[in-house]
């Protein structure tokens, strides 16, 4: 890996390491080392450099929300009465556990969020009780996802 003023450059070995871990973050370092053809210590060194460069920001387990009963995914465009309302609205949105993502956007909405709810009734409760009661929210526009058809990270 090389760092320059235009960002970082990762070599073929770094790419193999990253691809293996993106496929399964629990892959043992020694298994990756055998597949790549370098020592486990060299893999650890490269991973530390990749973390230090902030290319890798951590690893996590992915929970299957359906197993917990969350079956309704929705995207909500939020209209704010004025741009000054954004920081406080985002602060209030961050307190709602069903809000998974929040984006400050261009276009029609001031804020665009991703919500996970147990069902349509739960979604309606979150919208009507939690979101639309936030100071500065003038109205919302909701899109229910029928099926997630692509789920991936950036290609390495």
How sure is the predictor about 83, in pLDDT bands with cuts at 50, 70 and 90?
A: confident
Torsion of CA 60, 119, 152, 61, to 10 degrees: 10
Q: Does domain 2-52 have CATH number 1.20.120.1760?
A: no
CA separation for the pair 99, 102 (Å, rounded): 7
Closest CA to 24 of 67, 62, 65, 51: 62
**What is the pLDDT, as a whole number, of residue 126?**
98
**What is the pLDDT, as a whole number, of residue 4?**
63
- Asked if pLDDT for residue 1 goes beyond 80, the answer is no
Per CATH, 2-52 and 65-145 having the same topology is answered: no
| Cβ pair 33, 43 in contact under 8 A | yes
pLDDT digit string (tens) for 12-51?
999 999 999 999 999 999 999 999 999 999 999 999 999 9
CATH class of the 65-145 domain in this structure: alpha beta
Domain boundaries, the chain: 2-52, 65-145
Give residues with Cβ within 8 angstroms of 134, minimum separation 6.
Answer: 88, 89, 92, 93
């Amino acid at each position: 890996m090389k760092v320059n003023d235009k960002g970082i450059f990762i070599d073929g070995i770094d790419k193999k390491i990253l691809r293996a871990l993106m496929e399964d973050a629990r892959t043992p370092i020694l298994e990756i080392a055998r597949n790549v053809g370098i020592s486990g210590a060299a893999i650890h060194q490269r991973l530390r450099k990749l973390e230090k460069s902030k290319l890798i920001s951590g690893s996590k387990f992915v929970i299957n929300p359906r197993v917990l009963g969350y079956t309704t995914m929705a995207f909500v465009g939020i209209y704010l009465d004025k741009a000054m309302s954004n920081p406080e609205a985002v602060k209030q949105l961050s307190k709602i556990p069903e809000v998974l993502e929040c984006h400050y956007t261009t276009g029609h909405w001031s804020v665009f969020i991703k919500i996970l709810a147990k069902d349509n009734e739960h979604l309606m409760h979150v919208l009507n009780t939690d979101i639309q009661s936030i100071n500065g929210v003038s109205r919302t526009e909701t899109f229910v996802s029928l099926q997630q058809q692509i789920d991936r990270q950036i290609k390495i």
